[in-house]
Amino acid sequence: MKSEWFQRWFGEEYIALYPHRNAAEAERVVALIERIISPARVRRVLDLACGGGRHSRELCERWWTTGLDLSEVLLRVARKEGIDAPLVRGDMRVLPFRDHSFDLVVNLFTSFGYFADDASHQHVVQEVSRVTSPGGSFVLDFLNTAKLRNSLVPYDEREIGGQIVEQRREISEDGRFVIKRICLRGTGKEFTERVRLFDVGDLSGMMTNAGFRVTAALGNYDGSPFTPQSPRVVLFGTKQ
C-alpha cells in the first residue's frame, strides 16, 4: 500500500532542511495558551503532533506533558534534545489514551489537515474530545487560508546547508488543498506537502460537532483577534 505524504516527508531530509525551528515562537504561543485558558486548572497536557518537541519543551515548564507524533525520526530528535516528557509514537486518528486523560490538548503550527478526506479530520477532533476531560481545553493552531489564497508564492528557492531547495506551491484544481512540492536540486529527491484549506468556520464547526464550545478565535501569537488578514487562526475550545 502506498504511504501517505506525511509518512514519507517528516524524516531525515526534513530534519536536514529544517534543523532548528523557532524556539522563541514556541515560547510565545505556549505563553499565550497559558494566559487565555487561565484560571483553568491544568494537570495533564497532550502535545498532539509534537514533532521535534519545541512546544513540548515549553509546555513541560508549566504542566505535566505527553507528546505524540507519527514520525519516529522527529521523536528521536525530541528525545535527543532532552524533552522532559513521555513521547509516544502514534496516529492522531486513533489516540492511544484513555477517555478524559488530559485537561489540555494542543495541536500547533498547522499540524492538521493532512488527510485526503474530511471525515478523517473530523475523526481526529472527535478523538481529541474523547481524551479531553470535561471542562478541559483544546487549542487548534492553523494557517489562515483566506490570507494564503491571496498571497501564495508559486515558486522560490534557497540554499540550506549547501543544498539548493526548490519549492513550488499551488492550489489544487478543486480548491480544497494547498500543495507544496519540495525538490532537492541535483539529487532526484522530491517531496510533497498537501494541507486541506479549512477556513475558520470549518475548524470551528468540527470543534463544535465534537463537543467543544469555541471560546476564542485569535489571529496571531500576540493574542490579537482573528481577521481575514491575520497570519494564523488559533482557536480555543472548552469541552462540554
Position 5 scores a pLDDT of: 83
If you average pLDDT over every residue of the chain, what do you get? 94
Report yes or no: 223 and 32 within 8 Å, Cβ to Cβ. yes
Is residue 48 predicted with pLDDT exceeding 70? yes
pLDDT band at 19 (very low <50, low <70, confident <90, very high): low
Q: Which CATH superfamily groups domain 5-144+199-239? A: Vaccinia Virus protein VP39 (3.40.50.150)
- What is the model's pLDDT at position 11? 79
* Sequence ranges of the domains in the chain: 5-144+199-239, 147-193
Mean pLDDT of the 62-75 span: 96
pLDDT at 1 over 60: no
Length reported for the chain? 240
CB 204 within 8 A of CB 187: no
The average pLDDT across 31-54 equals 96
What are the φ and ψ backbone dihedral angles of 185, each rounded to 5 degrees? Answer: -55, 130
Q: What is the pTM of this model?
A: 0.94
Region of 17 (left: φ > 0; alpha: ψ -120 to 50; beta: rest) is alpha
Average pLDDT, integer, range 81-105: 97
Task: Kindly state the average pLDDT of the residues 125-149.
Answer: 98
List the single range of 5-14, 15-24, 56-65, 176-185 with lowest mean pLDDT: 15-24
- Of 18-27, 61-70, 194-203, where does mean pLDDT reach its minimum? 18-27
**pLDDT at 160 (0 to 100):** 82
Asked if omega into 225 is within 30° of 0 (cis), the reply is no
